[in-house]
Structure 1
Amino acid sequence: MERIVDMMDVFPIYGYERNSLISKEKGCLTIPLRLELPEVFTLDQRDYNALNGLFFNIIDILGPNMILHRQDHFFEERYGPIPQRLNGDFMEIGNERYFEERPFLRAEHYLFISLVPTGYYKYGPTRVNSFLSKKRDFFLDRTIPKEFLDRDLLLDFEAKVESVSNLLNGSGLIRSEVMGYDALLHEGGLYAKYFSLSASNKNLPDIDFSNNSIKIGEKQARFFTVENLDQFTKEYLGPYELYGKFTTQHNRFPVGNLFSIGFKIPHEHIINQYIYIPEQEKALKGLRKKAKRFDQFGNGKKDDSNGIYADQIREFNTDILENHKEIVFYHLNVLGFNNTDRNHGKMCSAVADGFKKLKINAKENNIDRKNLFFAGIPGNAVGLPSDMYMPMSSDMAASLVYFEGGYRDGSQGIDGLRLIDRVCGRPLSVSVYREPERNHWIFNRGMLIASGSGGGKSYVANHYIASELRQGAEAIIIEDGNSYERITMVFGGTIIEHDDKRPFTFNPFKLDSYDTIEKDDGSRALTEGKVLNLVTLLKLITGDDRGVFGDTMSNEVKNTVLENLLPGYYSHMWETGNTDFRFDSFYEYCQEHLKVLVGAKRISKEVFDPDVFLFLLEKYYKGGPRERLLNREDERIARLGEERLVYFKLGKLIDNELLFPITALMVMEIFDKKLLDKDKLPINKMMVVDEAWKALSRKEFEDYFNSQSRMARKYGGQPIFISQKVDDFIASEVIKNAIVVNSHIKVFLDMGDFENAFEDIQEMMGLSEKQRQSILSLNRDLPLDRKYREVAFCWKDRVKVYGVETSLVEKCIYETNPMESHKINELHKKNHNNWELTAKDYSLLPSQKTQEK
């Protein structure tokens, strides 16, 4: 006959005092800690070694008659749309609807440290959880063992737990905090979660242990246990494992020893780990007795199993004593569960497979299910029978602690980039630069985006630009293709295209309010930024003389001459009342004053030749082949100062080694004006240069880019350089010194094409070993049921990998594949150039719905 009891009668906790839980079972004291573990896939070999050493020290600090109970919850949640995002543009709405109700696992991690009675190590399955058969009155005067009434003992226990918490927080890898009453016993607290096997169920369901199973409400559960060393089939247990999906000949990717039973089990489950620290001499003595018993039953032959076991015990004891380790008793189990209307067998197979990947033969344990369940209740680790523990050294036990936590990025933010975590597809709002700036991970917003061919760099760039525009950012984009045409039209931006019929023209000598300052004597002078811009322009036109004599003398002389000529030109124009500022009048000023200046300073022609300099300038003067380029301001460009989004389509101009750098410099001056606008100081101002590395790698740009980086950092600007020609990164010292060094955010997509020669890229980019491991792991373990690509964000010495997954509505706007672009363009014509209707129709195409699945 089934026995039915009230939940309060079987609740194992008697009370909560001074941060300690008091167990009905022997009155054990437990201090519960909530942990925040390192994010999954972010640890390197040194981190795992440090974590192993950390828990090895914790075991040593705690001493005998203690149990460490590590518990990790992996509960299913479903994504709910954010109301503010549902009020956004059609792409943002489409994104929220796409992720609505997506299931994912959220992890929570705990450490319960218990002080247990002397001799607990002898408590078998019939002696633990004896409170289940006692009535409530029994516990009114028989709760605390006499030894626990020793005030010094209790103070020592509290001090040890505080030391453990401080050690965890001081590691820089794990955060720890003592759990308060509400976090434990509130209706949505830890006990409610455990008893309902749910992250949100507030109404505690019935628990049924009948029929050799566990049923909790509508959920069916089963324990898988590791309680014997014979269940381990691996020959060696180090501080970490190598993850096979990410590890190649060129890339060894570490994960924790228990990684495969965490997020990689795609079902709800709880991991329980128990480390019991006995009195050392008693435990060693007990093992010696056990070895003697094996000897008694041995037959003395070489292959006798009893003799082998006896020798193993003696070797184990010797290792403990000689290497100053502790002997501990360890137990591991996983409680897997799912709704009874789902396939329970699939869940059981997934848990078993997770253990097999660890080379552990887990046991499906129905016999001990009641003791296992009650031992898992926070504060009742003493409920685990001693015969379910296996002896091991403290360093081995430390290496078997679970270490990987979930992504910390909140899914509810509205000011982040929508990405997904790479382990279970949870939607995230990723702060690309705001949080990294606040946390001092980076000191500028400069960004590089790199990938191999077809890696998806333009797709990611579109996604990021759209995210920033929604938050009030402004952007100028320079590119030679059509990758940003749709997003520019959707956000009401301006597209400026260069072609032979309407080539770009500029008047860089024209001044506005940002270009001059008033001196103390009331006169005007050029700003440093304007001088540098014009000096760079003139050096582009006339070439860089750096290194002619094996040093930089000629270059410095040229800089000095130009820095004298330019203020002189403007002073002359102001004094004569001439406001016709343009290249022609500057050239005429040079004709009259350059030779006088050079002669007065006695500069030899070998160092600076004014005739050659004027000859090189002449083709931009009236009557020359380039007379229009620098003498008139294109009306298309003149009105761009207040545009939020401007897209320069350069076409074949990007291959012109002379005209493109000049054009890029003039476009960057527009960006400078945005930076200097005080009204735009709070917003992000982006300068996106896609596939323009080769033309920008000229020496003339080095000083200019260094200055640009300083100004962008000061005024809230974000230069973004994008390329799939990764060789450009390592071919140019200019790019390295002026752009790479000043880009604290480096974004990588698929770099598989460069795996064999990644060392050069790693050195050039200043990447750490962990960043290298993460970048080379991209797209190596993608799920079969979802279509997305991965991206690695590197913030100085940090790295995080995300999935780039968007709705089909967004894909319509970001897609650059020629075949897909043709479909989209046809739909756009059909929908009378309405992008919202076009995107909706594109998402309904049969081919797209198939891809979505």
Structure 2
Amino acid sequence: MEKRVELLDTFPIYGYERKSLISKEKGCVTIPLKLELPEVFSLDQTDYTILNELFFNVINILGPNKLLHRQDYFFEENYKPIGQRLEGDFMERGNELYFNERTFLRASHFLFISIVPTNYIKYGSKRVNSFLSKKRDYFLEKTIPEEFVNSDILLDFESKVENVSDLINSSGLIKSTILNYEDLFDDNGLYAKYFSLSCQNKNLPDIDFSNNQIQIGEKLAQFYTLENLDQFTKEHIGQNELYGKFTTRHNKFPIGNLFSIGFKIPHEHIINQYIYIPEQDKALGQLRKKAKRFNQFGNGRKDDSNGIYANQIYEFNSDILENHKEIVFYHLNVLGFENKKEGHRKMCNTIAGAFKKLKVNAKENTIDRKNLFFAGVPGNAVGLSSDMYLPMSSDMAASLLYFEGEYKDSSKAVDGLRLVDRISGRPLTVSVYREPEKNDWIFNRGMLIASGSGGGKSYVANHYISSELRQGAEAIIMEDGNSYDKLTKVFDGIIIEHDDESPFTFNPFMLDNYDTVYHGNNKTTLTEDKIVYLVTLLKLITGDEKNTDNSMSNEVKKTVLENLVIGYYNQMWEKENQNFCFNTFYEYCRSHLNEQTKSKKVARDVFDPNAFLFLLEKYYKDNPRGKLLNREDERITRLSNEKVVYFKLGKLIDNELLFPITALMIMEIFNKKLNDKSKLAINKMMVVDEAWKALARTELEDYFNNQSRMARKYGGQPIFISQKVDDFIASKVIKNAIVVNSHIKVFLDMRDFEGSFEKIQSVMGLGEKQKQLILSINKDLSEKRKFREVAFCWMDRVKVYGVETSLVEKCIYETNPTQSDRINTLYEKNNNNWELTAKEYAYRSSN
């Protein structure tokens, strides 16, 4: 008949005093710490060096008869839709329902630091966890040991652990906090989680150790242990490993030594690591005795195993003493658990395989299952028997700790971009600029989106723009394709196309409330923005080769143009003439330019007024470009008040003269949004997709720099998108005017540029870790889910996410011509209703 014991009797903790847990094993006192680890893939080799040195120092500070127990929980959680998102538009609802009940791993990390009895090294498997054989009355009747009540001992230990916690926090990589009573003992506290092997616990299940198994409720658990040096199949353990799937000859990608047994095991599990710090002289003496015994049984030959083992011990002792290290005893185990009816054998194979990747032959341990389980109870690390430890140096033990935590973004937030954790597929809400601005990661919202061919840049741009529009933003988009038609229609925007039959025309000399300042006494002046805009326009249509050899000529021309613009408006206001247009401006120039340059004695080789007038004349009245700058296009009036405006530029984007002029006109509309005081609190986006070549004009460099300053001041976000990444390298104008002013850089698949990425890295100002992560994109995709990856770089920071959307959203974001034609057919069938179209598209695509 099986023996049944109440959980209270098997609970190894005697009490909780101040910040310390007191074990039923006499003399064992533990202070529990909760750790917040660096996000997975975020560490470089320098960081791993810092972390190794950190725990090397922790071991040194704590001193002998201390026991460190690192415990890392990887528990499953299911996504629950957010009510506010379910009340949103059909795309947001589709996204929430798509992720509903998705299962993913969540991680939490702990460090338990214990004082253990001085003779702990002699605790064999029969001695540990002896409380299991004692009745409850035993602990009530026996005298409480001094260690439990001596406040000086507890205070001294508490002070030492607080120093360790402060040291951990000072690293800047890991956060440490001491757990309080509620964190441990509440209904859903740490103990409830451990004894139920679940992140959410209502009622504690039964625990059954019979039949060489561990069964906890419906879950079947299995321990895999590292308890002997012979289990290692590699000779050297460094401070970190290289992750094979990301590492190429162009890109060495560092990862922690135990990375493979963390998130890469797609099953619920717990990692337990124990580091016992003995009295050094006693431990080294015991090893010397062991070496002598090996020598006694040796035969003196070179291949004699006893002699080899003895020499290894002597070398180990020498390394400890000569390099001022500590000798410690280390143990590692992984407790995996699955529903007993499903997946248990697959889980076991996965864990064994994960250890193989570490070059460790893990032992599937059933014999010690009870001791291993109770040693994993927070505060009862002393329950691990000494014969399960292997000796090693403190620096090696520090390098064998687990260091990779989960993504920190909140999946419960609403105001952000929906992406997923690239390892577990957990839905995340990513703050693209709000949190980075708040945390001083960036100082402007300017964004670049770059990818190789077919990298999905327009899809990501659609997803981001949609997210921002949903939160109240406004957008002006210009592109030569059809990538934003559906998005614009869904958000009731305006699409304006340029073609030969209906070319863009506009009147840049017209004035509105944003262009002038009234000073009283009937005195009105132009704003600085309007002057800069018109001067830039005149430079574009007359040519302005900006170079250092002719800097005086450039400044003279700029001054002449400013004087012409200001003089023109002053004359028009004096004559009360409201016919502001290019024609009247040209007539003013023709009447005043020669006189102005003569009076100022401007030499013709510095500025030739006749040549200037000749170039302007092309845009006057019936001349070849006479219609371009003299009349306001009815399609363009009042566009600054629209939420979404999409300019489809078509062939115009390849016209080196007309496109920059049109782009300047579109940016003037963006300026109106920026200057609207009622829109200060909303994000105002200016999206330029595949327009780099035409914008790489020296005349526009100053204007773009001015635009960037305005956007930063008034809450605007210029977004430049291209797959022609070579443009980044080729154009100094783009680098100086756009790249430098874009603190958010977004990269999709860049494998086409891996061999030449150093040039892109230099121009973009990217760090080594940013390069490593960008070149890792799409190289380790989950077979279970279809998504592509994207890297967000905020100045010197970087994170890679998965871009995964519902089929409802895919219907709106899709730019593939074949799919777009199919979607347009469904749109006509559903009477031009995008919600019905998206739902039918999703249904047909999933069946």
TMscore range, shorter length? over 0.9
Distance in 1 (alpha carbons) for counterparts of 2:144 and 2:407: 41
Distance in 2 (alpha carbons) for counterparts of 1:522 and 1:372: 89
Letter paired with 1:172: G
**Closer, same or farther: CA 399–78 of 1 in aligned 2, 3 Å:** same
**Closer, same or farther: CA 833–765 of 1 in aligned 2, 3 Å:** same
Q: Deviations over 1:491-534 (max 9, x none)?
A: 11000000111100111111111111133766211111111111
Q: 1:455 maps to which residue?
A: 455
Letter paired with 1:401: L
Letter paired with 2:193: K
Q: 1:775 maps to which residue?
A: 774
SS at match of 2:525: strand
User: How many angstroms does 1:609 deviate by?
Assistant: 0.8
Q: 1:252 maps to which residue?
A: 252
Distance in 2 (alpha carbons) for counterparts of 1:722 and 1:367: 60
SS at match of 1:638: coil
C-alpha contact (below 8 Å) 1:68/1:275 kept by paired residues: yes
SS at match of 1:844: helix
SS at match of 1:802: strand
Distance in 2 (alpha carbons) for counterparts of 1:74 and 1:24: 28
Q: 1:811 maps to which residue?
A: 810
Q: 1:84 maps to which residue?
A: 84
Q: Deviations over 1:675-707 (max 9, x none)?
A: 111110111000000000000110011111111
Confirm or deny that 1:525 pairs with 2:525. yes
Letter paired with 1:374: F
Distance in 2 (alpha carbons) for counterparts of 1:67 and 1:144: 22
Distance in 2 (alpha carbons) for counterparts of 1:122 and 1:397: 21
SS at match of 2:685: strand
| 1:145-164 to 2 correspondences below 5 Å | 145-146=145-146, 150-164=150-164
TM-score normalised by structure 1 residue count: 0.98
SS at match of 2:517: strand
Q: Deviations over 1:633-656 (max 9, x none)?
A: 101000212100000000000000
Q: 2:498 maps to which residue?
A: 498
| 1:258-407 to 2 correspondences below 5 Å | 258-407=258-407
Q: 1:194 maps to which residue?
A: 194
**Closer, same or farther: CA 485–81 of 1 in aligned 2, 3 Å:** same
Letter paired with 1:627: G
Q: How many residues matched? A: 847
Q: 2:165 maps to which residue?
A: 165
User: How many angstroms does 1:147 deviate by?
Assistant: 5.2
**Closer, same or farther: CA 613–203 of 1 in aligned 2, 3 Å:** same
Q: Deviations over 1:276-310 (max 9, x none)?
A: 11111111111111111111111111111111000
| 1:687-836 to 2 correspondences below 5 Å | 687-836=686-835
**Closer, same or farther: CA 587–142 of 1 in aligned 2, 3 Å:** farther
User: How many angstroms does 1:151 deviate by?
Assistant: 4.1
Distance in 1 (alpha carbons) for counterparts of 2:156 and 2:196: 35
TM-score normalised by structure 2 residue count: 0.99
User: How many angstroms does 1:208 deviate by?
Assistant: 0.4
Distance in 1 (alpha carbons) for counterparts of 2:652 and 2:464: 26
Q: 1:618 maps to which residue?
A: 617
**Unmatched tracts of structure 1, length 5 or more:** none
Structure 1 stretch displaced more, 501-510 or 24-33: 24-33
| 1:17-32 to 2 correspondences below 5 Å | 17-32=17-32
Distance in 1 (alpha carbons) for counterparts of 2:773 and 2:500: 45
| 1:662-673 to 2 correspondences below 5 Å | 662-673=661-672
C-alpha contact (below 8 Å) 1:9/1:136 kept by paired residues: yes
| 1:434-453 to 2 correspondences below 5 Å | 434-453=434-453
Confirm or deny that 1:57 pairs with 2:54. no
Distance in 1 (alpha carbons) for counterparts of 2:142 and 2:700: 82
Letter paired with 2:664: L
Q: 1:849 maps to which residue?
A: 846
C-alpha contact (below 8 Å) 1:477/1:689 kept by paired residues: yes
| 1:7-26 to 2 correspondences below 5 Å | 7-26=7-26
SS at match of 1:774: helix
Distance in 2 (alpha carbons) for counterparts of 1:516 and 1:611: 30
SS at match of 1:409: coil
Distance in 2 (alpha carbons) for counterparts of 1:36 and 1:144: 35
Q: 1:581 maps to which residue?
A: 580
C-alpha contact (below 8 Å) 2:545/2:698 kept by paired residues: no
| 1:527-606 to 2 correspondences below 5 Å | 527-547=527-547, 550-606=549-605
C-alpha contact (below 8 Å) 2:22/2:148 kept by paired residues: no
Q: 1:44 maps to which residue?
A: 44
User: How many angstroms does 1:343 deviate by?
Assistant: 2.1
C-alpha contact (below 8 Å) 2:27/2:115 kept by paired residues: no
Q: 1:109 maps to which residue?
A: 109
Letter paired with 2:591: E
Q: 2:640 maps to which residue?
A: 641
Q: Deviations over 1:227-275 (max 9, x none)?
A: 0111111121111111111111111111100000000000000000001
Letter paired with 2:139: F
User: How many angstroms does 1:150 deviate by?
Assistant: 4.8
Letter paired with 2:424: C
Distance in 1 (alpha carbons) for counterparts of 2:591 and 2:141: 108
C-alpha contact (below 8 Å) 2:27/2:147 kept by paired residues: no
C-alpha contact (below 8 Å) 2:546/2:699 kept by paired residues: no
C-alpha contact (below 8 Å) 2:336/2:351 kept by paired residues: yes
C-alpha contact (below 8 Å) 2:545/2:699 kept by paired residues: no
Distance in 2 (alpha carbons) for counterparts of 1:305 and 1:545: 80
**Closer, same or farther: CA 521–766 of 1 in aligned 2, 3 Å:** farther
Percent identical = 74
**Closer, same or farther: CA 574–134 of 1 in aligned 2, 3 Å:** same
Letter paired with 2:248: T
C-alpha contact (below 8 Å) 2:330/2:397 kept by paired residues: yes
C-alpha contact (below 8 Å) 1:246/1:777 kept by paired residues: yes
| 1:124-143 to 2 correspondences below 5 Å | 124-140=124-140, 142=142
Q: Deviations over 1:29-63 (max 9, x none)?
A: 11111111000011111111111111111111111
Confirm or deny that 1:650 pairs with 2:625. no
Q: Deviations over 1:765-798 (max 9, x none)?
A: 0000000000000000111121111000000011
SS at match of 2:392: strand
Letter paired with 2:372: L
Distance in 2 (alpha carbons) for counterparts of 1:149 and 1:291: 41
Distance in 2 (alpha carbons) for counterparts of 1:396 and 1:522: 81
C-alpha contact (below 8 Å) 1:546/1:553 kept by paired residues: no
Distance in 2 (alpha carbons) for counterparts of 1:502 and 1:682: 36
Letter paired with 2:204: L
Distance in 1 (alpha carbons) for counterparts of 2:720 and 2:541: 24
Structure 1 stretch displaced more, 18-27 or 132-141: 132-141
Q: Deviations over 1:181-219 (max 9, x none)?
A: 111000000000000000001210000001110000010
Distance in 2 (alpha carbons) for counterparts of 1:665 and 1:551: 25
Letter paired with 1:472: G
Distance in 1 (alpha carbons) for counterparts of 2:477 and 2:545: 31
C-alpha contact (below 8 Å) 1:620/1:628 kept by paired residues: yes
**Unmatched tracts of structure 2, length 5 or more:** none
Letter paired with 1:707: N
SS at match of 1:76: strand
Q: Deviations over 1:598-656 (max 9, x none)?
A: 11211111111111111111101112111111111101000212100000000000000
Distance in 2 (alpha carbons) for counterparts of 1:277 and 1:606: 84
C-alpha contact (below 8 Å) 2:451/2:748 kept by paired residues: yes
TM-align CA RMSD: 1.1
Letter paired with 1:763: S
Distance in 2 (alpha carbons) for counterparts of 1:121 and 1:325: 19
Q: 2:508 maps to which residue?
A: 508
User: How many angstroms does 1:155 deviate by?
Assistant: 2.5
Distance in 2 (alpha carbons) for counterparts of 1:464 and 1:142: 66
Distance in 2 (alpha carbons) for counterparts of 1:520 and 1:337: 79
